[in-house]
Amino acid sequence: MSDGETAHGGVLQRLALRALHCLEPERAHDLALWSLQHGLFPAVEQVRDERLRTSCCGLRFANPLGMAAGFDKDARVAPALWNMGFGFVEVGTLTPRPQPGNARPRLFRLREDEAIINRFGFNNAGQAAVRGQLQRWHAMIGRGVLGVNVGANKDSADRIADYAAGALALADVADYLAVNISSPNTPGLRDLQGPRALEKLLAAVGRALAEAGREQCPVLVKIAPDIDEAELAEIIEVAISGGATGLIVSNTTIARPETLRSPQRGEAGGLSGRPLFEPSTRLLAQAHVLAKGRLRLIGVGGVHDAKTAWEKIRAGADLVQLLSAFVYHGPALIPRILRGLLLELERAGHASIGEAVGSGAHDWLEK
């Protein structure tokens, strides 16, 4: 790609983002998904380098940067996201039965804070509706890693059974399963982070994986940032004893930092974006130290450039995810972060991403 093509593509991306941001947020999100699904997005510079390759959870990744769950809820656009340069894509959250989620409006841009508040409530088409699509993607040659995020229906009489149903239905079309027990938008869901409930949940998921013949499918538990160190320590020990492969740290927060400036800051729901970076990264560092290498970690929350992605890795993340920053900066953000990670590796004298994981965890705990 020539410099002229790169500059032209950058202009188109900026114009497209401005147009999208003139629309109501959820309508803009739907239009963005439609565009990606139909191949209507500008070419993005591909950054491929052996130093970015990494292994995690028994899987190989072309690079450590992934799209977090919540962007592609109904598993519509993973191939487009891989083509943009993401090393992995996590779809969902998917529930056993379709559900509409909470009433609109339920998505809010906090432009002044480069943040987002959502209270979607696991709106999705249901696992049966997307299974065929996931099956086709899973069979693609040369694709990126595919994660599937599963959850429980809001009106379920047995939420643990819902997670087991998700594992049984989707484990054979997923490279890894993410167990989402930390969304703040389904009342009572975060209670599943308690040790007894989590123990039962992981046991049920394990039985479902055995029934599906996918005992080796990695299971990662997605946790909330709004927990203390004692709660985190309990989650880690239960996750390990329950056979989980890792943690995703973290989901959105119900906290509202005093630094928020946007008039939308009082909306109910989970806050993501830049304000989540410090608390989620500190929690990530705590998890790295407490787990002592027994769990693999995905760091998510506030990643918006190469520096913040690098800090997640230094805090203990084997892999890094983003979402809100993609909304604000578009596809051009992906190669910027990957090029920046290569520069950070050079500065630190590391030959690979794996060498940097956790190298700054104690620095974060001392802040």
Q: Is the pLDDT confidence value at 17 over 90?
A: no
Taking the CB of residue 206, how many other CB atoms lie within 10 A of it? Answer: 17
> pLDDT at residue 80 above 70?
yes
Exposed, middle or buried, 253 (CB in 10 Å: 0-12/13-18/19+)? buried
Contact 205, 168 (CB under 8 A): no
What is the pLDDT, as a whole number, of residue 351?
A: 96
Instruction: Give the angle 174-181-67 at the CA atoms, nearest 5°.
Output: 50
State the Cα angle at 150 between 30 and 104, rounded to 5°: 35
Alpha helices in the chain (DSSP H): 3-20, 25-37, 78-83, 127-138, 159-170, 195-211, 229-241, 277-291, 306-315, 324-329, 333-348, 353-356, 361-365
User: What's the rounded Cα separation, in Å, for the pair 149 and 138?
Assistant: 15
Q: Is 259 exposed, middle or buried (0-12, 13-18, 19+ CB in 10 A)?
A: exposed
β-pair type (115-118, 107-110): antiparallel
Domains and CATH numbers, the chain: 49-365 (3.20.20.70)
C-alpha angle with apex 114: 109 to 116, nearest 5 degrees?
Answer: 40
Q: For residue 100, give the nearest of 15, 185, 180, 174 by alpha carbon.
A: 185
- pLDDT, tens only, 323-364: 999 999 999 999 999 999 999 999 999 999 999 999 999 999
What are φ and ψ of residue 193, in 5° steps? -80, -15
CA–CA dist 243, 192 (Å, integer): 16
The whole-number pLDDT of residue 20 equals: 66
* Structure token digits, residue 311: 């800090």
Decide if pLDDT at 13 tops 90. no
Is the per-residue pLDDT at 317 higher than 50? yes
In angstroms, the CA 315 to CA 289 distance is 9
Q: What's the pLDDT score for residue 15?
A: 63
Give the pLDDT confidence score for residue 41 in this predicted structure.
Answer: 79
Catalytic residues: 183
